[in-house]
Homo-oligomer: A and B are copies of this chain.
Amino acid sequence: MNDGAPFGTIAIVGLGLIGGSIGLAVQQALPAVRLTGFDADPDVRCRAQTRTLVHQVTGTLELAIRDADLVILCVPVRAMGDIAAQMAGVLKPEAIISDAGSSKAFVADAIRAALPHQPLVPAHPVAGTERSGPEAGFAGLFRNRWCIITPPDGTDPEHVSAVSALWHALGARVEIMDAAHHDLVLAVTSHVPHLIAYTIVGTASDLEEVTRNEVITYSAGGFRDFTRIAASDPTMWRDVFLSNKHAVLDILQRFSEDLTALQRAIRWDDGDALHAHFAKTRGIRRSIIDEGQDDARPDFGRADHSA
């Protein structure tokens, strides 16, 4: 421990958008922390070293983690159990394991099964972009975003405080939540929206009577907002849906019922029902802007608005 930093050495496993952004943000906010990193892909390791996402990219997982006080797993959620199993016997006994996964109950169970006695403080920074890979990260990704920490029952409060302090230092706001509740909240605010976006972009590209070129050309009418999140990393999102299956299917069922009700209102010319629904959703947008989670400028400040 040094200079008020909660950890002396942090190891980041998985050097894509999130792992790379954590590395860059730690170097900026906590320059005294020593940062090591590993990625299973040799090409990613090389590119991560070129960008200095961490001080030292190691050739093996063991070299990255053996001196770490904190190990942050930034790999697709269904890969975390295997990685954790490979760390058994190498870690310092007091090293805290954390992660950045988007589904929390599944990840905690997987890591706990592989490392039953290691301190565990799962976390989920609710931030990202549609880009992936070691070139995608940037130090400001977590600034003014939320990081949800989901400590299992019995977690040492000092471990939770240390991980919270790290995220605060990176500019994030921190919330402590039960893992199951996190998974339901994120199913609504992130997982199902991604699935819907992936779906409509696929539907649009499969039409016989409308060319893909027409879809692309006229996308400014609304469609393009969906294509951004439908460009997110396929492996990461496959794992999110499969690891948070119960909550995702529950919210999807509700969504389908609601969509069917609006579809029926269109078919039967029920303009009043449509108008009432559309007027209600407007207020939520205003609240999101007030809370600082989006940009109030039309189109979020895309080019070509003013003047």
Contacts and interface: CB of A to CB of B under 8 A. Distances in A.
Interface stretch (A40-48, A59-67, A135-143, A156-164): A135-143
Nearest to A233: B278
Given A220-B146, A234-B279, A284-B205, A300 B301 contact: yes
Chain B CB count within 10 A is highest, among A148, A189, A251, A258, for A189
A212 interface: yes
A87 B276 CA distance: 31
Contacts of A263: 249, 252
A262 B199 contact: yes
A216 B146 contact: no
A304 B144 CA distance: 8
A167 to B, nearest CB: 14
Given A231-B285, A279-B234, A301 B298 contact: no
Contacts of A196: 196, 200, 226, 259
Interface of A is mostly: helix
Interface string A201-224: 111111101101011111111111
Interface in A122-144: 126-131, 136, 138-141, 143-144
B126 A218 contact: yes
Given A217-B146, A222-B190, A229-B222, A212 B284 contact: yes
A256 interface: yes
A247 B130 CA distance: 30
Contacts of A139: 307
Interface string A223-255: 111111111101101110110010011011011
A223 B235 CA distance: 20
A282 interface: yes
Nearest to A234: B278
5 contacts: A175-B217, A190-B218, A219-B291, A245-B266, A300-B302
Interface of A: 102, 126-131, 136, 138-141, 143-146, 148, 175, 181, 184-186, 188-207, 209-210, 212, 214-232, 234-235, 237-239, 241-242, 245, 248-249, 251-252, 254-256, 258-259, 262-263, 266-267, 269, 271, 274-275, 277-282, 284-288, 291, 293-295, 298-307
